[in-house]
Structure formats: C-alpha cells, structure tokens
Structure 1
Amino acid sequence: MTQAEQQLPDGPLLAYYGDDFTGSTDSMEAMTAAGIPTVLFLDLPTPDMLARFPQARCVGIAGSSRGRDPEWMQRELPKAFAALASLKAPVLQYKVCSTFDSSPSIGSIGCAIDLGVNCMPGRWSPTIVGAPRLKRYQVFGHLFAAVDGVGYRIDRHPTMSRHPVTPMAESDLRRHLAMQTPRRIELVDMVQLRNGEAASQVHKLQADDVPVVFVDVLDEHTLAAAGRLVWENRGNGLFSASSSGLQYALAAHWRELGLIPREPSLPGAEAASAIAVVSGSCSPVTASQIARARTNGFLTERLQLDKALGSATREAEIERVVAVAATAIERGTSAIVFSAEGPEDPSVTGFNQLAVAAGLGRHDAARQVGTALAEVMRRLLDRVRLTRVVVAGGDSSGEVASALDIQALTVAAGLAPGAPLCRAWSSAKVRDGLEIVLKGGQIGGVDFFGLARDGHAVALSPDHVAQTLDMRRKR
C-alpha cells in the first residue's frame, strides 16, 4: 500500500441513515470516540444546517424505518439516501440494529438494500452486524448476542426471540434476509478473514447484480479485518446495510494504519442535579434498570396505557404523570415515567387488547404510546428546570426528539457503550444545548439511570483532547 493510500481522503468518510434514533446515536458515538467528528441530523439537513458543522467527517440522519412498512420505506428512503449520497462519502450506510430484527412487512432491511444500492456505484454491498463492544457476534453467518455474560443465538435470545413486533426466529442472517429480498446473498466467514482469503473472495463475488455480502465478526482481530476488507474494496463508493459494527470495523482498520488516535476515547459526563426519564422500552434490561433506579432515589411513575390510549382520558393521564414527575424534580429527585417494566408486564402481554379497547390497530397504538411519552417530556421541560434528559426505547426516542424541536445531535460525553450523552442543537433557544441520552432497550448496565444522573470520568488521550478543542474553536 502506498503512502497516499495510507491517508484518509478529504471530506466526509461515511454517511448513514439510522433506522431508529438510539441506533443512530450509537453510530455517532463510535465515530466520535475514534476521533472522527460526527453530526447526527434528525431530518434531511438543509445546506444551512450542514454549514453549521464544517468539521464533520461523518454525517448521519436519524430515522424511524425500523418500525415502518415497505410502502413507507419506498416513499421516504430514496430521498434520504440521495441527500446523503450527495455528500460524496465513499461509504453510504443504512444503519440497522445489531440484533438485525426485521421482517418482510416491518423494518425490511432487504427493502432498504434494494433501494440503497441504486445510489452508489459499488458492485457488492457489504453487511457487518457483529460488534464485540456491544456483545454482538457473527460466526459463519449466524448472529449471537450476550446478556449478563451469557451468549445466546439470536433466535434463542430471551428478548429478541420474543420481540413484540419483529421477533427473530432465524439466526442465519442469510436465510433471514432472504425472506426480505430476492437479491443474491453471500458470506465472507471468519476463517477466510483469518487466513487472508477474504479479499479474493470479495473479488469473485462482485458483479452487476450487487450481492449482499455478510462479513463475520467475532473479536477485535476479525473486526479490523472486516474494516480493511470494506475500506480497501470500496472502489468508487459502496452501499452497506450494517450495524454500528461497520463504524467500529472501519475505525479498527484506520487505527491499525495509524490514521486515527490509538485509543478510542470520550470525555466523561459530569453529574446533573436531577434528570427526567421517559421509557417506552419493553426490554428486561430496561426493566432491571428501572427497578434499580427505584431503589437508588428515583421516583418511578407508570403511564397507565388504558388511559393514555383513550381519547377521552389521554389528556388527563398525561397531565397526571407530568405533575407527579415535576413535583419530584422540583424537590431535586430524578423521575422516570415508564409505560412497561419488562416483556411480562401486563401492559405488554395485554397490549393487543388495550389497542382494541381504544379502537386502534396495534401499530397505531404503539405510536400513540410514543407520542404520549414525548408530550410528557415536552411538558416537563416547559415546567421545570432541567439540563439533562434520558429516553429509553428506539421508537420513543424518535417521538421525543421530534417533539422537542431538535435539529441535530453531537456527542458530548461517554456513558455506556451505545448510549452516549448528546448535545442537542436547536433553533429554539430553550432547547439548544440540552443534554439528552437516547438509550436502546438492550443497552447499559443495571445502574444506567443512576450513571446518567451522576456521571462518571473517562480518561482522554492527548490526541482526542486536541481534536475536541479544535472542533470547539471551529464552531
């Protein structure tokens, strides 16, 4: 490789569309920690919005396609992909969850790929799902995820195998994706990555039909090898439907070449006097976090879904929980408003009946829960003084961010892998500078909400400090 080839090209390096808000911040965190200035927009950015972030070398758009049908995707995604492709980054990514949960009718990754490959000239479409930092591993095409130190094949995972919308019944991602697209689907496995045959395999697989090529990732070695495979075979531009494993893989490869700081790092979050949390997550991980917060000085208040979904009772229920939470926050007590506490919660197991009773379809009812939580957060911010808020659950995060009139996010500090503390950018003065955490259901340890309130210290490398100060001077 020549010296010129060992330098990162000028301009944007990666542009991505996130299929939900929490996953979008996960990708932003991965690149920012690697020393790649990154900005995440909450809608298609205008030229004026882009001009506010001239230093950005990774640009994302946070979307909601994970919960949408193919008709919506065919209508909306081409506009987003075209806007991102116009930035001329060598890799255009459709960012998916590292659990790859999707179906032919909801959040179809296959549909997104069929739309996205038309925006880039590449003759293969790599897909990296494994992300060791997030305890996600792909081996011979099968996806595994660890919970509390125990690894599960994704179709036997205690949460994802029972996901209420897109349960994972197949761990072989080639077979899973084949139900969503007729496109040719191939694999570069961990043995080929380790013995040096991966590049020749990609050369054989490339063709005008633009096959999807899954790339195994088990550990840091295969992660860096996957990043090298994508970067050295990017040609004039690739489209990739991948988790944040793509960001981690590219960063690992660039780090091996000495192109970015040797140690990924982020500043530590300082403590906040009190925080507000809204949670629409049904995950057992989030349930354990709510339970721990309850014993750690937080007020926890349930949003009663039968009332929140009823047209005659919705307003009163929202106002009730806002009043309870606001009273606690004014006393200096952090507050959590939640709609469910784990997958066995009656509000989850009986959700279909709640929707029917409200005269709503399941999908519309789920979105109404998200908008109710968003309204709770909006009213809390208007009523009490808060500098930091947390949203748990991908769908809820999108609804809340939209309700708060936030246009963009950047990473302010590290908290837990996949859930950074973000700085909100807004044209509304009262929202600009708000600290916000968007947490996926599976993300974080049992003390996550306490951590979000109390902060923690993270050691910084000198390189990262210098880059952070340089970015601030350019704003």
Structure 2
Amino acid sequence: MLLGVIADDFTGASDIANTIAKGIAPEGGLRTVQYLGVPRTDAAPDVEACVIALKSRSIPAAEAVAQSLEALDWLEAQGCRQIIFKYCSTFDSTPEGNIGPVGEALAKRLGEKGVIACSVFPDAGRTIYKGHLFVGDRLLNESGMEHHPLNPMTDADLRRWLGLQCKDPVGLVDWSVIRRGPDAVRAALVTAGEKGETLVIVDALANDDLLTIAAACAEAKLLTGGSGIALGLPRNFIKAGLAKGGKPEVDAIDGLDAVLVGSCSRATLAQIERHSTGHPVLAIDVNKVMDGTLKADDLVAFVRANHGKAPLVYSSSKPEEVAALQEKYGREAVAHKLDALFAQAAKALFDAGVRRIVVGGGETSGAVVSALGVTSFRIGPEIDPGVPVLVTEDGTGLGMALKSGNFGGVDFFEKALGAISGTGA
C-alpha cells in the first residue's frame, strides 16, 4: 500500500478518499478503500490507498490520540509510504484539540518536524492566506462556523488557534513562498523543523498551490490537513512508477432510498429547502425526541410511506433554535439522542430493504454507518466536490453518500441518489 489516511470523521474520510481516487488528469488516482474504524485484517492486495474513518473529532483529546496512533500502527503494518491526518477544511476543533494533539502525536511517532497543516479546499471555497482561513469571501469566524453546535470556530487565525492546542510552536509558510515553487516550500518546512515547529500552517489559494505543496512533500512521511492536500499525491506515486492511475469505478446500486440529515449548516438548510419542493420531507421535533414521544419507528414509517419519492428526514434547525434546545436539554444530551434516533432508523430501513442511503452531517454519518455495521467502502465517482459514491465491500449491495454539512450543491440529495443508481454524477 502506498498512501494511508487517518480521518477524524466519516464524511471527511469520504471527502479525502474521493480526492485520492479521482486524482487529477490525465493520470487519475489510486485504487482506494475507506474503512470504518481500524481494520482487523489486512487490506486486499489491489488496494493502493486506504482511508481509516474514525469518529474522533469531538471526543476527549487523549482518546483521539490513542485511536489515531492505533490507526497509524495498522497503516504502517500495511507498508504505507506516506500518512495523512485528515481533518475538516473548516478546521473544526476547540482550544483543547483535537487537531494539535493528534498531529503532534503522529509526528512524534514518525520522527517528523516541519509537518504541514493545510485545510485548504478551493473547490469548496476554503483558502488560507497569511495563516487566516477563509470560507468563500468570509473569514472562518464570520462564515457561520462560529455557530457550530459542537466546535464553534471563533478565530480565523489558524496559527493562533492551533497554537492553543499544541505543545510545540506552530509555524507558517505563507503564499509568497508557495508561489516560488516546491523547492522553496520544502526548504521552508525544513527551516521550520529546525526551529522546533512540529506543525506548520501553509497558505494556499488555488488547486495549483496544492499541487506545489504535494510536489514539495513527495518524500514527507506525514501531512495534515483537509482533503485538498491529497490532490497531487497520487501523481507523485504514478510518476515514480509505483501506481498506474485510473478513474474510480463501482457497481451501480438501485432500489429503495432514503435521505437522513442531521447537519445545521447553511448549505444543508438550503439543500433541505430545495429538496422539499419536489419530495416529501419530515422535520424532527427535538422536544418530542427528548421526551420519548418521537421514536425511530416514526421515521421509518414516514420513509416507507413514501418509497420511490426520495423521502428526507431531518433534524436541522437555524443556529438560534439549536442554541435554545442545547440550553434546555444540554448539548451532549441532544446530540446523543439524535445520533441514536438516526442510527436506529437507518438499521430498520436497511432491514426493510432500503439500499440507497444518503446522510448529511459528519456526526450523523458516523452514527448511521456504525449502526449499519459497515466495515469498508469502495470509492466510486464524485457526486459534488468532496463527496463520492460509496459502495460496501461486503456484498450487501448498499450504496451511500456521506455529506459534510457545508458540502454539495443545492440539489445535492436528489443528485446523490441518482449517482448511486448510476443515473447521475
């Protein structure tokens, strides 16, 4: 195996798996599998890249470190030449972690310094300039991410934010260095390491910058960041004669469908509104979930009553409504109840024959996939930037799409169901 990824949530894992599998023209990408949790057996011989999806973004930092190191052990046992620690392109974290603690722990185990930290994803509007993260034309802390229910992002200065999480000083390679090419970037990272900087924020404004960074890091043991940092890595292996390249392909999955959404992002709210104009939707009353009067059976009954119509069930709300519910019941209690509700509903729907399932939201995706007992996916074609078709490897004939909250066009849900069945994307 050539490339191994440790991702801190399930949708982010799909995002970077998509980037690696499609690669860039004309070479294409690597044969890629996404695992749900650390595998207990070796990867298949034809796998060139694998992504281990953890649910470690919002757990205590020490637990996230332990899980990530376990994943690293497995990847090294598979012979991986390069490791990526993948986190969200909006740098979702708190002042305590988990990006800094995990990144430093992986770097220490691999004996690395001057490791890039670059969450750039230009195709989704994420760029970094002078160490500040932008979402479109807005600073991160003015993009809506300041209202995130679990990891509110209140500072766009990533060097300062990451510095709160790290034991070692955090460096910066700004865009003036990037524009000078791979050799300049490589030299800057070496200098950062010599100064004791383990993690280094790296600017990038466009995909060409990501290709420059990839070329600079061709021999690096560890990279950290969003899915964009993997853009040029397949090309490195193909040029070295270690892989042939190609396009991702999976079997089409037809049959009954369902859409389950637990994200509160602005993009997701717009997608739900669009979907509701032509398809049945059910809004979850969180108060009824908390008092036990709304159960998974109610969600399943709604979906089954609307088979063939792309039914959608959602718990998404505006930020002020989410804040009021968290104040009333407690943030963790609400999250736990909703995750359990979606998980139970997904399992019942699968048992009832639903084989195309689209999920919105990272935490919701993790809960659903765990409940379904999925252990690995083959990566198929891209639906929208950062979101591929996923098909289970275990022969159950389940096709999925796991969408991070802010990803996807306004018509994403209908498009995703079509892509899974081979009629779109």
Q: Name the TM-score, length of structure 1 as normaliser.
A: 0.81
Match of 2:6 in 1: 17
- Deviation of 1:244 (Å): 0.7
- Deviation of 1:363 (Å): 1.7
| Separation in structure 1 between the aligned mates of residue 127 and residue 375 of structure 2, nearest angstrom | 33
Match of 1:472 in 2: none
**Letter of the 2:403 counterpart:** K
- Deviation of 1:173 (Å): 0.9
- Deviation of 1:259 (Å): 8.1
| Separation in structure 1 between the aligned mates of residue 165 and residue 222 of structure 2, nearest angstrom | 17
1:216 aligns with 2:184: no
1:422 aligns with 2:390: yes
Kindly indicate whether the alpha-carbon contact (under 8 Å) linking 1:225 and 1:253 is maintained by their aligned counterparts in 2. Answer: no
Q: State the superposition RMSD in angstroms.
A: 2.5
Q: Number of aligned residue pairs: give it.
A: 415
- Deviation of 1:289 (Å): 0.9
Match of 1:70 in 2: 61
In the alignment, structure 2 segments of 5+ residues that lack a partner are 24-28
- Deviation of 1:108 (Å): 1.7
**Letter of the 1:45 counterpart:** P
Match of 2:37 in 1: 43
**Letter of the 2:140 counterpart:** I
- Deviation of 1:424 (Å): 1.4
1:303 aligns with 2:281: no
1:115 aligns with 2:117: no
| Separation in structure 2 between the aligned mates of residue 217 and residue 153 of structure 1, nearest angstrom | 15
Of residues 365, 369, 392, the one that matches 2:338 is 369
Kindly indicate whether the alpha-carbon contact (under 8 Å) linking 1:278 and 1:338 is maintained by their aligned counterparts in 2. Answer: yes
SS at match of 1:442: coil
Report runs of 4+ in structure 1 exceeding 3 Å deviation: 207-210, 251-262, 264-274, 455-458
Of residues 299, 324, 347, the one that matches 1:350 is 324
Match of 2:268 in 1: 286
Aligned pairs (5 A) from 1:314-393: 317-329=295-307, 332-344=308-320, 346=321, 348-355=322-329, 361-383=330-352, 385-393=353-361
Of residues 347, 355, 380, the one that matches 1:412 is 380
| Separation in structure 1 between the aligned mates of residue 243 and residue 45 of structure 2, nearest angstrom | 19
SS at match of 1:350: helix
| Separation in structure 2 between the aligned mates of residue 389 and residue 450 of structure 1, nearest angstrom | 11
Match of 2:84 in 1: 93
| Separation in structure 2 between the aligned mates of residue 210 and residue 55 of structure 1, nearest angstrom | 37
Q: Which stretch has the larger CA shift, 193-202 or 206-215?
A: 206-215
Match of 2:412 in 1: 448
- Deviation of 1:55 (Å): 1.1
Q: Which stretch has the larger CA shift, 180-189 or 119-128?
A: 119-128
Kindly indicate whether the alpha-carbon contact (under 8 Å) linking 1:301 and 1:337 is maintained by their aligned counterparts in 2. Answer: yes
1:193 aligns with 2:178: yes
Structure 1 pair 54–271 and aligned structure 2 pair: CA distance change class (3 A): closer
| Separation in structure 2 between the aligned mates of residue 192 and residue 86 of structure 1, nearest angstrom | 35
Q: Name the TM-score, length of structure 2 as normaliser.
A: 0.90
Identity rate of aligned residues, in percent?
28
Kindly indicate whether the alpha-carbon contact (under 8 Å) linking 2:68 and 2:102 is maintained by their aligned counterparts in 1. Answer: yes
- Deviation of 1:433 (Å): 2.2
1:402 aligns with 2:370: yes
Match of 2:125 in 1: 135
Q: Deviations over 1:73-123 (max 9, x none)?
A: 244332222222333323222210001021134x52111112211321323
| Separation in structure 2 between the aligned mates of residue 253 and residue 189 of structure 1, nearest angstrom | 23
Structure 1 pair 407–254 and aligned structure 2 pair: CA distance change class (3 A): closer
In the alignment, structure 1 segments of 5+ residues that lack a partner are 1-11, 356-360, 459-475
Structure 1 pair 90–210 and aligned structure 2 pair: CA distance change class (3 A): farther
| Separation in structure 2 between the aligned mates of residue 13 and residue 261 of structure 1, nearest angstrom | 12
Structure 1 pair 411–68 and aligned structure 2 pair: CA distance change class (3 A): same
1:80 aligns with 2:71: yes
Q: Which stretch has the larger CA shift, 33-42 or 81-90?
A: 81-90
| Separation in structure 2 between the aligned mates of residue 220 and residue 210 of structure 1, nearest angstrom | 25
Kindly indicate whether the alpha-carbon contact (under 8 Å) linking 2:61 and 2:101 is maintained by their aligned counterparts in 1. Answer: yes
- Deviation of 1:274 (Å): 4.7
1:250 aligns with 2:233: yes
| Separation in structure 1 between the aligned mates of residue 160 and residue 86 of structure 2, nearest angstrom | 20
Q: Deviations over 1:25-67 (max 9, x none)?
A: 00111111122011111121122xx34x211111111111111
SS at match of 2:111: coil
| Separation in structure 2 between the aligned mates of residue 179 and residue 289 of structure 1, nearest angstrom | 35
Structure 1 pair 269–439 and aligned structure 2 pair: CA distance change class (3 A): farther
SS at match of 1:65: coil
Structure 1 pair 258–84 and aligned structure 2 pair: CA distance change class (3 A): closer
SS at match of 1:321: helix
- Deviation of 1:396 (Å): 0.5
Q: Which has the larger radius of gyration?
A: 1
Kindly indicate whether the alpha-carbon contact (under 8 Å) linking 1:161 and 1:169 is maintained by their aligned counterparts in 2. Answer: yes
Structure 1 pair 210–188 and aligned structure 2 pair: CA distance change class (3 A): closer
Q: Deviations over 1:219-256 (max 9, x none)?
A: 13211111111114x2xxx2332111221142466688
SS at match of 1:174: helix
